[in-house]
Amino acid sequence: MPRAPFRDDLRATLTLALPAVAQSLLQTLVFLADRFFLGHHSAAALAAMQIAGPLTWTLQSVFGAFGVGTLAVIGRAVGAGNRQLAASALYASLGVGLGVGLGVGLGGTVGLDALIHLLGGGGSAAVHGEAVRYLGVVLPAMPLLFIAMVCTQALQAGGDTRTPLAIALATNALNLALNAVLIFGRFGLPRLGARGAAIANVSALALEAALSLLALSRPGIPVSLRFDSRLDVRDALRRVMRVSGGAFGERTLYHTGYLVYVRITNGLGPVAMAAHQALLSLESVSFLSADGFGVAAGARVAQRLGANDPSGARRAGWIAALASASLIAVVAVVLYVGAAPLLGVFLDDRAEVREGLRAMLPGAFVQVPMALSIVLLHSLRGAGSTREAFAIAVLGSLVVRISATLFFVHGLHLGLAGVWLGSGSDWILRAGLSAWRWHLGRWSRVKV
């Protein structure tokens, strides 16, 4: 591999990835702060997030699958210098985001009680009530969520990850400030608990959508809402949805497998559940960092393919994957060496800490294959090869993760360590398969 192209691609990848990583970590910080505030308000409010959090994440992930097509189509258009197609795809995706948001918001609001009972009902009237108060505010605001998501992906596909980071700084600061005021009822306001957290989140979403639309209204940028020539939104919509079909199936099946995996974990009892949540909180640093590199990889791959440079696209995917794995390897060592004090930040009970320590070794070991698979799967999606990503996800999450977790937990009776060995088996398989498919290069011939 020539040294100059490698250095150029590494520099371009880091330029895109580092702001995206910072944005992801900032979202994690706000997530943890939200839980901190609610935990100090009441146990019921915090417990309600175990219903509201997975539900809103699942809705966003599954129904936001069209965003994969948004990034792939706009990225290729930018790489080809086709600003008309980029603008057309942006308008098409905003229309889909608005429609999907309205549908999900209306359906979720009407079926709110059924959704809460599907996730266990909360176990008490107090938890159920807090969940209703939170979701009753958040679900109708789903159009704001999807519009903000489309805008962020459009900016990233155009090679701009700094503007989404700046917007995230402003909106997350607003979210934190409103949480501190509304949850506890400061400055003469009533204590709103989970409803206050929901109002804060929706306010931040409204600001994010407004600022993102404003950013995309600037003239002269690669992807802009200001385009004087005639747009072919219908053709762009077909392209976006053609790429997104596989992503929708992938995310639907992934979340199905994930919910089964969660049920297996919850069957181990409250000590293992608490330790598992602490481990997930620590792992989020690795996961979201890898996801930031994945965003950069998907955008770079789409742009290079749009510029008719498949070798540059291949190189960009490998560079992002190896850079992410190098960073995450350092994180994994820190997690393992500092396991006891890190778990102590989240856990007071010694039994919970001991359970977490037993699972930390497989948890730390799996971080590197997880990083590789996340970035390479993003690269496949950026190339428009969502069917390959779909097949890998089905085999990993539905077949390997569930069967391996059942074997380690119930066959070998390894407890929470078995849960993490099960997920590790999934990530190792995904890393191997995604590396193999990326090496074959058939993704470079996919039309979008």
Q: What is the pLDDT of residues 322-356, one digit of tens each?
A: 888 988 899 889 888 888 888 877 666 788 788 88
Q: How confident is the model at residue 1 (pLDDT cuts 50, 70, 90)?
A: very low
Mean pLDDT of 385-402: 83
Mean pLDDT of 395-415: 88
Which helix or strand (DSSP H or E) is residue 5 part of?
helix 3-41
Q: Which of 125-134, 161-170, 221-230, 266-275 has the highest mean pLDDT?
A: 161-170
Amino acid at 187: F
* Count of beta carbons in the 10 Å neighbourhood of residue 99: 12
pTM for this predicted structure: 0.71
Query: What is residue 347's predicted lDDT score, i.e. its pLDDT?
Result: 66
Phi, psi of 386 (to 5 degrees): -75, -20
What is the per-residue pLDDT across 201-213, written as a single tens digit (0 to 9) for each?
A: 899 889 999 999 9
Q: How confident is the model at residue 273 (pLDDT cuts 50, 70, 90)?
A: low
Altogether, the residues listed in the chain come to a count of 448
Query: What is residue 82's predicted lDDT score, i.e. its pLDDT?
Result: 87
Tell me what the pLDDT averaged over the chain comes to. Answer: 82
- Distance separating alpha carbons of residues 137 and 386, to the nearest angstrom: 33
Query: What is residue 213's predicted lDDT score, i.e. its pLDDT?
Result: 94
Q: Is residue 330 within 8 Å of 411, Cβ to Cβ?
A: no
- 244: number of CA atoms within 13 Å, CB side? 24
Q: Kindly state the DSSP code that residue 123 receives in the 8-state scheme.
A: S
Instruction: Scan for tokens 């392209």, then name that residue.
Output: 239
Mean pLDDT of 304-317: 86
